[in-house]
Amino acid sequence: MTQTFLLDPAMAWAAFEARDRHSDGRFVGAVRTTGIYCKPSCPARHPKREHVTFYRDPAEARAAGYRACLRCKPDEVGRDRIAVARAVALLEAAEDMLALDALAAQVGYAPHHFHRLFKRATGVTPAAYARGLRARRAALALTGEASVTEAIYEAGYSAPSRFYEDGAKRLGMSPSAWKRGGAGVTIRWTIADTSLGAMLVAATDKGLCRVSFDEDETALRARFPEAEILPGGAALAALAAQVVASVESPERDQDLPLDVQGTAFQEAIWQALRAIPLGETRSYAELAAMIGNPSAVRAAGTACGANPVSIVVPCHRVQRGDGTLGGYAYGIDRKVVLRKREGVV
């Protein structure tokens, strides 16, 4: 059975009661006593449960004789998502940073309203998304350009100082260290025993950089060939114990620190994965829509596969649109067990 709001009225009502913004656009609730339908996050006072019927989209609710709520404007959810997707495309295509005013104007929204809309959909502000794009380009350029300075300009920074203020911080190391494949970064590791098998836990001084099953120090060195790889010892023991607890008792929120880098798209997907509540699932299409890029379903699946910290970023909560499990880097059997422990039937 697929545990989604679209198919389960009980889950839909729970989201409705919680005014869950992440569920906006996935269904509407129609109130028989008022004749209106609302999106889940509608701030209006909740009606009694027996007066509410859930529909897959506004068109179904209108066909049943209901009209849109004037307060939460559920018909605009689709428009909002289209605007965010268009803004993402504009940011991807831009050679220079786009000011918020210009970006919002191009998609037809007031700046402050669109700032909130974009962050709600992607998990980051338009400026942060653009900085992520530049940092990604810098990372790619630093592996191929003849000099660090050339790479910085190639990535779109107006001057090296701008890169050091922004990009270097995002990359997590100096540009010269990146050029040398991460030389100078210290990673500590351990193998932890779990009921699902041996699990590699590795972290920098900032946070977890690798959590995986069926891997060892050799795999870690292949992934980070220029880093200093050291046994974890007592310095990593407490953090590893928290990761193990996330496997065995997922209901306990560990709030673990991370030190991972990906493309701006990957990082948005990973943030969206962490926003999926315990016991719930999302399809790859829904995951793509959560970051305002509903057409990027295949890319969302690829980003899940690139997740460097399993369990902590819960890619096991994603499935195909037809309810089947889809893939999982560490085996479908583990995915099934993880979901059952979280209450997914």
**Which amino acids are annotated catalytic?**
38, 315
Residue 229's closest CA among 178, 175, 185? Answer: 185
Compute the distance between CA of residue 306 and CA of residue 316 in angstroms, rounded to an integer.
Answer: 13
β-pairing verdict for 186-194 and 28-31: unpaired
Q: What is the dihedral of CA 304, 307, 311, 313, to 10 degrees?
A: -80
DSSP 8-state class, residue 51: G
Compute the distance between CA of residue 240 and CA of residue 223 in angstroms, rounded to an integer.
Answer: 19
Give how far Cα 24 sits from Cα of 12, 41, 78, 106, Å: 11, 7, 9, 24
Q: Are 121 and 78 in contact (CB under 8 A)?
A: no
| Helical H segments across 203-257, by residue range | 217-223, 234-248
Compute the distance between CA of residue 203 and CA of residue 189 in angstroms, rounded to an integer.
Answer: 7
Compute the distance between CA of residue 94 and CA of residue 124 in angstroms, rounded to an integer.
Answer: 18
Give how far Cα 148 sits from Cα of 142, 178, 180, 181, Å: 6, 10, 11, 13
Residues 6+ apart with CB under 8 A from 236: 188, 189, 190, 201, 203
β-pairing verdict for 52-55 and 186-194: unpaired
Residues 6+ apart with CB under 8 A from 230: 186, 187, 188, 189
Identify the three-state secondary structure at position 200.
strand
Q: Are 280 and 274 in contact (CB under 8 A)?
A: no
